[in-house]
Amino acid sequence: MTGFSLKDDIVSIFGVVWSALNRYDSLVLTDPKGAKKMRMSFDRMEWAGSVGDLGTLLPLAFAMIMINGLSATGLFLTIGLMYVLGGMYYRVPVAVQPMKVVAAYAIGQSLSPDVITASGLIVAVFLLFLGATHLVDFVARIVPKTVIRGVQMATGILLLSKGAKMVVGTSDFQVMHGGTEPFLNSQSFMGMPMSLILGILFFLVTLFLLNSRRFPAGLVVVVSGVLVGSLLGAWQELAGVQIGFHLPRFLPFGFPSGGDFSFALLVLVLPQIPMTMGNAVIGNRDLSFEYFGRESRRVTDRALCMSMGLANLFSVMVGGMPVCHGAGGLAAHYRFGARTSGSNMIIGGGFILLALLYGPGAANVLHLLPMGVLGALLFFSGAQLTLAIMDMSSRSDLFVVVLMLAITLISNLAWAFGVGICLYHIIRVGKIKV
């Protein structure tokens, strides 16, 4: 009688899946005008790249669902559709991220979903106006490349810092939930925080596999991270989660009041807009062209404004969070292997299925991935984005970049963006040598 071996069965299953990913390589689509063909790859590198930005996306999404009461169905459906439709239009990888100023303040102050909905609607109208009137092109012309690099550098350092905090166990999300790994049975081992142990372990795994095509780092880290999280007790998060067909409710929190709009405009939207313009529009377009060249010809400032405006309009209707195309997210997807819009189809399709099949329980499914693992991914994402400044050679340009980083760390990226533009033009007009 043949003995039963669970280990052998698991290895066999992973072998079949791995081989399937390797064989199902690409899909060739015809341009609507019939003049040019585009290729979507679905190999292991695209799968790895598709999950590269989860370290930024998931903690803020979790917090806005659990603390601010946003709809898990609407939030994850918005993310999924934005990934898929963005990939279909732009034809190169694009990222989907929370608007960080809005998210951070909303979480920190436990704001109501009505205020968050109001902020999303204001942002949507503003971005659609900039795109439809082409005013965004004027804004882009007055923002020099040096300032773009400053935004990318500052954002990268912020991501590095956030990733390190998640690994150490001191991020806002972990502190609010009173544990370094809120969804695991054990919070420490031999006096060391569990997030630190997992973070170091998966940091080393990521480092070792960073340039491997046979075992892509992002895919290996996410799959093995889910397995480790499940073994350490995160599987209990699935208790009570029911598979079905869940559609989001239309305006689940009603239409915001005048007070909600006033508060959202002054406290959330005004600080967010400069960061969105610098990082999610101008910086994102520049980074996409650097990575993909002519293939990213559809990634224009106007197109980014329009797609983010439409996505936020939809998010408002289904109770989701304000979203954007962040340059940091693009750097993460690219660093872990995304080279075609196939990565968008993979991650976007996953989020759509998650929202429709699990509905309100979608966040619980994602709790299987430990915080330390997300922190390790986020750390590498931030490092990739900071490398964008390598083409800055003049001392004056580097001075502006460093000053923008300092202002960001002391205050916020919105102030750094404005000061950077002014300082750059003062140095150029006054012919000041630094």
pLDDT at position 405 over 50 = yes
pLDDT for 281 equals 94
Q: Is 90 exceeded by the pLDDT of residue 369?
A: no
Residue 76, pLDDT score? 95
Q: What are the structure tokens assigned to 213, written together? A: 């095509």
Confidence grade of residue 28 (pLDDT, cut at 50, 70, 90): low
Mean pLDDT computed over 257-272: 88
Bridge partners, residue 37, by sequence: 30
Would you state the pLDDT for residue 145? 83
* Percent with pLDDT over 90 in the chain: 45
Q: What is the mean pLDDT of residues 138-144?
A: 84
- Provide the pLDDT for residue 2: 42
Average pLDDT of the chain, as a whole number: 86
pLDDT band, very low/low/confident/very high, at 328 (cuts 50, 70, 90): confident
Specify the pLDDT at position 5.
46
Residues 268-286: b if buried by 16+ CB within 10 A, e if exposed: bbebbbbbbbbbbbbbbbb
**Residue in 265, 299, 267 with CA at minimum distance from that of residue 281:** 299
Q: 127 with 308: CB under 8 angstroms? A: yes
pLDDT attached to residue 272 = 84
Q: Are the CB atoms for 151 and 276 separated by under 8 Å?
A: no
Mean pLDDT value across residues 54-70: 84
What per-residue confidence (pLDDT) applies to 347? Answer: 95
pLDDT, position 286: 92
- DSSP codes, 194-208: HHHHHHHHHHHHHHH
DSSP H helices, 44-111, are 44-50, 54-66, 72-90, 100-108
Q: Say whether pLDDT at 14 is over 60.
A: no
Residue 433 pLDDT:
78
**3 state SS of 185:** coil
Say which range, 209-223, 233-247, 280-294, has the weakest mean pLDDT: 209-223
> Which pLDDT belongs to residue 221?
87
Cα gap 350→170, rounded to integer Å: 29
Lowest average pLDDT, out of 5-9, 54-58, 115-119, 206-210, goes to 5-9
Task: Give the other-Cβ count within 10 Å of 209's Cβ.
Answer: 19
List the single range of 131-135, 237-241, 303-307 with lowest mean pLDDT: 237-241
The fraction of the chain above a pLDDT of 70, given in percent, is: 91
Residue 158: is its pLDDT beyond 90? no
Report the alpha-carbon distance of residue 334 to residue 324 in Å, rounded.
17
Over residues 297-313, mean pLDDT: 96
Nearest Cα to 233, choosing from 336, 370, 125? 370
pLDDT for residue 33 is more than 70: no
